[in-house]
């Protein structure tokens, strides 16, 4: 549905994005993950035909975003990060205006607007001017606006930014409900959000693609911990010595806590297999008490930071 090849955008000397390549299948939800200023918005602006790329190509639904921009724009729904709306218009008036521009047949405009307002929960705001709405409701207007022409491709730039937790959950479930027929690209710098919604994630930093994979794969690839945390009851120095004596140990840290059950974190040099059992055996052999034992899981945040910093160096 979306094919992006070697996309580069320069702003003067500064580079927006550099040689970005990826593709999205029909019906897929793709997450764009990256710190602020990584190039997420730039990529989305190119895909939505707002700005042309310096080099490289991007095709949406088979149409080139530069050569065939009108055909792409007819098939796309876009919600920019700042949710720019005409504050001096009433909600239905605005949606009708957008529907008209986005080629919704004239006779269907009214029913389409009513239907969407109900779907995003705006019906009771019909008499209000957009300028009077709270951030959460504006976000819904923005979402309704992007959906008005029943687009094949939906591009959402940070759709939950600035919302309260309840609204975030609502918008998220709304987006999830849209999946299926539609292809969705959404960007975020919040990891749990992306992993909750998306089937596939692109990690982007400093304008470059750092990783593309499913959230599960990204996690399993890296998550199998290289660290094991254990609370052990035993003489501290002996315990540390025993832990160091294990095979493949890189580091042992002692935490603070009660004397008779100090926490230790053992780091192994090879993180591809679970080492918990190995630690357990070592403790039990010495007949010390084992209160707690678990691999330290890497959160998506850790993975993200790991990928971004590793590649950076």
Partner 1 sequence: MKNFIFILVKEIRSYFNSPVAFVVATIFAVLTGYQFYVIFAKFSQLSFEVQTNPTIASQFGALNVTEMVIRPFFNVVAVVMLIMLPMLTMRAFAEEWKAGTMELLLTFPVRDEEAIMGKFAGCMGIFTMMLLLSLPSVALVGYFGDPEWEVVVTGYMGLFLMGGAFVSLGIFMSSITENQVIAAALSFAALLLLYMVGYTAGLVGETTGKVLEYLSIMFHFEKFAKGVLDTSDIIYYLIFMALFLFLSMRSLESKRWRG
By CB under 8 A, is residue 161 in contact with partner 1? no
Is the Cβ of residue 103 or residue 289 nearer to partner 1 in the bound state?
Answer: 103
Q: Which of residues 234-253 bind partner 1 (CB under 8 A)?
A: none
Residue partners of 151: CB distance under 8 A and separation at least 6: 75, 76, 77, 182
SS3 content of the chain, % helix, strand, coil (to 5): 40, 30, 30
User: How far apart are alpha carbons 275 and 179 in whole angstroms?
Assistant: 39
The answer to whether residues 157 and 187 touch, using CB atoms and an 8 Å cutoff, is: yes
Look up residue 253 and give its two tokens.
């840290």
Is the Cβ of residue 87 or residue 123 nearer to partner 1 in the bound state?
Answer: 87
The answer to whether residues 202 and 30 touch, using CB atoms and an 8 Å cutoff, is: yes
- Phi then psi for residue 246, to 5 deg, are -70, 165
Is the Cβ of residue 146 or residue 225 nearer to partner 1 in the bound state?
Answer: 146
User: How far apart are alpha carbons 230 and 293 in whole angstroms?
Assistant: 4
| Placement of tokens 């998550």 in the chain | 223
* Plot region of 287 (φ>0 → left; ψ -120 to 50 → alpha; else → beta): left
Q: Which of residues 30-59 bind partner 1 (CB under 8 A)?
A: 42, 45, 48-52
By CB under 8 A, is residue 88 in contact with partner 1? yes
Query: Which of 1, 2, 7, 16 touches partner 1 (CB under 8 A)?
Result: 16
Question: Applying CB under 8 A, which part among 56-64, 69-77, 165-173, 180-188 lies near partner 1?
Answer: 69-77
**Site map (CB under 8 A) of partner 1, residues 110-139, x = contact:** -------------------x----------
**Site map (CB under 8 A) of partner 1, residues 95-114, x = contact:** --xx-xxxx-----------
CA distances from residue 108 to 91, 112, 219 in whole angstroms, order as listed: 17, 6, 45
Question: Applying CB under 8 A, which part among 90-98, 189-197, 242-250, 293-301 lies near partner 1?
Answer: 90-98
Residue partners of 128: CB distance under 8 A and separation at least 6: 90, 91
Question: Applying CB under 8 A, which part among 8-16, 187-195, 276-284, 302-310 lies near partner 1?
Answer: 8-16
By CB under 8 A, is residue 219 in contact with partner 1? no
User: How far apart are alpha carbons 207 and 194 in whole angstroms?
Assistant: 19
Residue partners of 294: CB distance under 8 A and separation at least 6: 228, 229, 230, 276
- Phi then psi for residue 164, to 5 deg, are -80, 165
Question: Applying CB under 8 A, which part among 82-90, 169-177, 283-291, 298-306 lies near partner 1?
Answer: 82-90
Shortest CB 50 distance to partner 1, Å: 5
By CB under 8 A, is residue 66 in contact with partner 1? no
Is the Cβ of residue 89 or residue 246 nearer to partner 1 in the bound state?
Answer: 89
Query: Which of 6, 23, 55, 87 touches partner 1 (CB under 8 A)?
Result: 87
Question: Applying CB under 8 A, which part among 92-100, 118-126, 197-205, 269-277 lies near partner 1?
Answer: 92-100
Interface contacts to partner 1, rule CB under 8 A: 9, 11, 16, 42, 45, 48-52, 70, 73-74, 76, 78, 80, 82, 84-89, 93, 97-98, 100-103, 129, 145
């Amino acid at each position: 549905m979306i094919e992006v090849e070697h996309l580069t955008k320069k702003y003067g000397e500064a580079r927006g994005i550099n040689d970005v390549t990826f593709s999205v299948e029909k019906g897929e939800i793709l997450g764009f993950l990256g710190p602020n200023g990584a190039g997420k918005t730039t990529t989305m602006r190119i895909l939505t035909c707002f700005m042309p790329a310096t080099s490289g190509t991007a095709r949406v639904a088979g149409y080139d975003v530069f050569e065939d921009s009108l055909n792409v724009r007819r098939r796309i729904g876009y919600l920019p990060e700042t949710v720019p709306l005409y504050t001096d218009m009433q909600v239905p008036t605005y949606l009708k205006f957008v529907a008209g521009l986005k080629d919704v047949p004239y006779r269907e405009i009214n029913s389409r607007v009513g239907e969407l307002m109900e779907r995003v929960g705006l019906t009771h705001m019909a008499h209000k001017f957009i300028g009077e709405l709270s951030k959460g409701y504006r976000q819904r207007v923005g979402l309704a606006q992007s959906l008005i022409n029943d687009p094949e491709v939906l591009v959402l730039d940070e759709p939950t930014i600035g919302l309260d937790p309840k609204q975030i959950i609502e918008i998220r479930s709304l987006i999830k409900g849209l999946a299926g027929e539609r292809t969705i690209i959404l960007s975020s710098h919040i990891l749990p959000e992306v992993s909750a919604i998306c089937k596939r994630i692109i990690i982007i930093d400093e304008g470059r693609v750092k990783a593309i994979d499913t959230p599960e794969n990204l996690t399993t690839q890296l998550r199998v911990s290289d660290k094991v945390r254990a609370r052990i009851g035993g003489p501290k120095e002996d315990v540390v010595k025993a832990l160091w004596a294990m095979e493949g140990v890189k580091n042992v840290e002692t935490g603070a806590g009660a004397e008779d059950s100090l926490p230790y974190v053992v780091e192994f040099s090879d993180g591809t297999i679970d080492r918990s059992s190995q630690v357990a055996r070592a403790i039990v052999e010495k007949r010390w008490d084992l209160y707690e034992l678990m691999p330290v899981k890497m959160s998506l945040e850790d993975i993200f930071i790991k990928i971004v910093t590793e590649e950076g160096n």
